[in-house]
Structure 1
Amino acid sequence: MNSRCLKAIYVVYFGMKFLISSGNCQTCFDSSNCPTYAKCWRNTCLCEEGFRRDGDVCVDMNECTNINTCSRNALCVNIPGGYSCQCRSGFRTVGTHDRQCIDIDECNQAAQVCDRDEICQNLQGGYKCLCTGEVCHPNAQCRIEERGPRCACEYGFRGDGITCHDIDECSSEMHDCVAPQKCENTAGSFVCNHNNACSITSLRLLNMLIIVTLCSWHRNF
Structure 2
Amino acid sequence: MPNDFSDINECEDNTHHEDCHSCVITEGSYTCKCRNGYELDPITKQRCIDIDECNGTKGTHYHLDCHKCINTIGSYTCECDEYYEFYPNEPKCIDVNECDGERGVDFNEDCHHCQNTSPGYTCRCNAGYDEDNTHTEGNCIVMDQRIKICNTKRV
- Opposite residue 48 of structure 1, the aligned amino acid is C
Within 1, Cα distance between the matches of 2:134 and 2:21?
62
Q: How does 1:51-130 map to 2 (within 5 A)?
A: 51-56=39-44, 57-66=47-56, 67-93=60-86, 96-112=88-104, 113-116=107-110, 120-128=114-122
Q: Any idea what SS the aligned residue of 1:133 has? A: strand
Structure 2 residue 124 is the aligned partner of structure 1 residue 134: no
Within 1, Cα distance between the matches of 2:140 and 2:24?
73
Higher share of residues assigned helix? 2
Within 2, Cα distance between the matches of 1:144 and 1:39?
66
Equivalent position to 2:16, from 15, 25, 34: 34
- Opposite residue 61 of structure 1, the aligned amino acid is I
Note the alpha carbon deviations across 1:138-182, whole angstroms, 9 max, x for none.
Answer: xxx96536739x9xxxxxxxxxxxxxxxxxxxxxxxxxxxxxxxx
Question: What is the number of residues matched between the two proteins?
Answer: 120
Q: Any idea what SS the aligned residue of 1:77 has? A: strand
Q: Any idea what SS the aligned residue of 1:29 has? A: helix
Unaligned runs of 5+ in 1: 1-25, 151-221
Given the superposition, is the C-alpha separation of residues 46 and 40 from structure 1 closer, same or farther in structure 2, using an over 3 Å criterion?
same
Q: Any idea what SS the aligned residue of 2:41 has? A: strand
Which residue in the other structure is 1:156 paired with?
Answer: none
1:34 deviates by 2.2
Higher share of residues assigned strand? 1
Within 1, Cα distance between the matches of 2:51 and 2:66?
23
Within 1, Cα distance between the matches of 2:11 and 2:101?
59
Query: TM-score, with normalisation over the residues of structure 2?
Result: 0.53
Which residue in the other structure is 1:48 paired with?
Answer: 34
Kindly indicate whether the alpha-carbon contact (under 8 Å) linking 2:54 and 2:62 is maintained by their aligned counterparts in 1: no
Note the alpha carbon deviations across 1:168-211, whole angstroms, 9 max, x for none.
Answer: xxxxxxxxxxxxxxxxxxxxxxxxxxxxxxxxxxxxxxxxxxxx
Q: Which has the higher contact order (CA 8 A, sep 6+)?
A: 2
Within 2, Cα distance between the matches of 1:89 and 1:107?
15
Q: Percent identity?
A: 19
Query: TM-score, with normalisation over the residues of structure 1?
Result: 0.40
Q: Any idea what SS the aligned residue of 1:84 has? A: strand
Kindly indicate whether the alpha-carbon contact (under 8 Å) linking 1:34 and 1:40 is maintained by their aligned counterparts in 2: no
1:117 deviates by 5.9
